[in-house]
Amino acid sequence: MTPLPASAPADGGPGTVPVSRVPLGPRFVARSGRPQGWSPAHRVLGPELDDTLDRVADERGTDRRAVAAVLLLDRYALRLTAPVLAAFHELDVLLDARPEVVSLGPDPHAPGWLALAAPGRPARGDRAALRASLLDGALLPLADDLAVRTRAGRRTLRAAVAHAVALSMLHLSWRRPRPDALVGPTRALLHDAGLGGLVVVGAVRVDGTDWMSVRRRACCLAFRTTSAAGRYCGACPVRPAAAVESDLAAAARSFRARAAPDPRPTPPNALPNPLPNALPNSLPNPPGSTP
């Protein structure tokens, strides 16, 4: 396959990986190349994984390695899936997501914390290739390794991957003329990877329009950390489904009020995130975020 030319449309400015023809917001930003001083993901998440887990545990306030494992995977999966899925659905580009070509910056909370060294190639809508790179080649092996090392539940870890995929797709879908347009592709990708039953992907009716919705089926365990102070994620399965849908509807109305979805083929100069970023996703207790 021929690599994409350097002049491909960019998101986030020079030195970032092209993922869309219009800026999509900080969650979708990934640096390009191997920035000096950054750490190779295959090392941080491989031979140094025990040290990485200790840092996450200290940062989040937990003495349980299983909790740290789920939160580590949750963060990494959210940051990796967003640019990879955006490039696939917005530009028909397949980015290499394997840890061998990923680097991690010193600040995990900063936009562009993750860098991809390999250039993208034409995807031609190949969902199997997307699954092989992003899920089979990157996130699911990490989930299995974390399960062995920490005794965290394999289902809980794989559910974190499923949620990251679904939430990233939600942020892309809400920009479409039909805000539920990516419900079907999301379900298909998760089903093909054996993740279909781990997250609820559907639509919520908001003032006569269907908007893509996401709700976890397995808890990320963040509520067990001191940093969460007993709060639950917006899409936590502990919360009533009606409450999650109500929050999603409110977020959809807020997004619609701030900026209309991408009208294609004449996009606006920029669009804000449907669910703004904060902890890592945002709003006081946003749908889908980890406290």
Q: Mean pLDDT in runs of 10 for the chain (291 residues)? A: 36 74 90 93 95 90 88 94 97 96 88 88 96 97 96 94 97 95 98 95 95 84 59 70 86 84 40 35 38 41
Distance CA 246, CA 52 (A): 36
Domain boundaries, the chain: 26-258
89: part of which helix (H) or strand (E)?
A: helix 65-91
Picking from 190, 169, 281, the residue whose alpha carbon sits closest to that of residue 236 is 281
pLDDT score for 105: 92
The architecture that CATH gives domain 26-258 is Orthogonal Bundle (1.10)
Cβ contact 75:109 at 8 Å: no
N-terminal to C-terminal alpha carbon distance within the chain: 41
72 and 56 in contact (C-beta within 8 Å)?
Answer: yes
* Inter-CA distances, 286 with 46, 153, 177, 178, 234, Å: 32, 25, 23, 22, 5
Output the six-digit token pair for 81.
């899936």
Q: Compute the distance between CA of residue 160 and CA of residue 75 in angstroms, rounded to an integer.
A: 9
State the pLDDT at residue 111. 74
pLDDT one-digit tens code per residue, 221-231? 655 556 665 66
Q: pTM of this prediction?
A: 0.83
Rounded Cα distance, 144 and 129, in Å: 20
In this prediction, residue 283 carries a pLDDT of: 28
